[in-house]
Structure 1
Amino acid sequence: MLALLVADGASGSASAVRLACDRCVLEVSVSGAGATVLSKTPRRNGDGHPSRGLVHATNPVSAGLEDLQLTVGEGPCLDAFASGGPVLVADLAAETARWPAFTPAACELGAAAVFSFPLQVGVVRLGSLDLYRDTTGPLTREQLADALILSDFATEGVVADLDGHSGDDVSWLADSHEQVHQAAGMVKVQLGSTTDVALMRLRGYAFAHAMPLADVARQVVERSLRFTDSEEGQ
Structure 2
Amino acid sequence: MDGQRRDRLVEQVLKCTTASGRAELGQALSSVCVRVMPDVDGAALAFYSGSRVQELVGASDPWAAGIEEAQYTLGEGPGLAAVAADGPVLVPDLSVDEVRWPVFAGAARGEGLAAAFFFPLRVGAMQLGTLGLYRRRPGVLPADFVFDAALLADLISHKLLLQNEKMTGEERIWMETSYQDVNMATGMLAVLLRISLEDAFLRLRAHAFGAGRSVLDVAADVLARRLPLDRLTD
- Alignment TM class, shorter chain as reference: 0.7 to 0.9
> Deviations 1:89-113 (Å, cap 9, x if unpaired)?
1111233331132111111122111
CA contact (8 A) 1:16 1:153 kept: no
Q: What TM-score, normalized to structure 2?
A: 0.83
Pick the aligned partner of 1:25 from 34, 45, 54: 34
Q: Which runs of 5+ in 1 are unaligned?
A: 41-48
1:129 to 2:131 alignment: yes
**Residue 10 of structure 1 aligns with which residue?**
14
The change in CA–CA distance for 1:161 and 1:52 in structure 2 (over 3 A counts) is: farther
> Deviations 1:21-41 (Å, cap 9, x if unpaired)?
32432324211001112223x
Please identify, of 203-212 and 24-33, the stretch whose mean Cα deviation from structure 2 is larger.
24-33
> Deviations 1:127-163 (Å, cap 9, x if unpaired)?
1100111111110112212211211121121221232
**Residue 46 of structure 2 aligns with which residue?**
36
1:58 Cα offset (Å)? 0.8
**Residue 154 of structure 2 aligns with which residue?**
152
**Residue 194 of structure 1 aligns with which residue?**
196
The alignment partner of 1:223 has SS state of: coil
Give the count of matched residue pairs. Answer: 220
Q: Which runs of 5+ in 2 are unaligned?
A: 19-23
Task: Measure, in 2, the Cα distance between the counterparts of 1:110 and 1:55.
Answer: 22
Q: What TM-score, normalized to structure 1?
A: 0.83
**Residue 97 of structure 1 aligns with which residue?**
99
Please identify, of 131-140 and 23-32, the stretch whose mean Cα deviation from structure 2 is larger.
23-32
1:11 Cα offset (Å)? 4.6
1:62 Cα offset (Å)? 0.7
Kindly indicate whether structure 1 or structure 2 has the higher relative contact order, using CA contacts under 8 Å at least 6 residues apart. Answer: 1
Task: Measure, in 1, the Cα distance between the counterparts of 2:227 and 2:112.
Answer: 30
Q: Counterpart amino acid of 2:30?
A: C
5 Å matches for 1:40-119? 40=50, 50-119=52-121
Please identify, of 142-151 and 4-13, the stretch whose mean Cα deviation from structure 2 is larger.
4-13
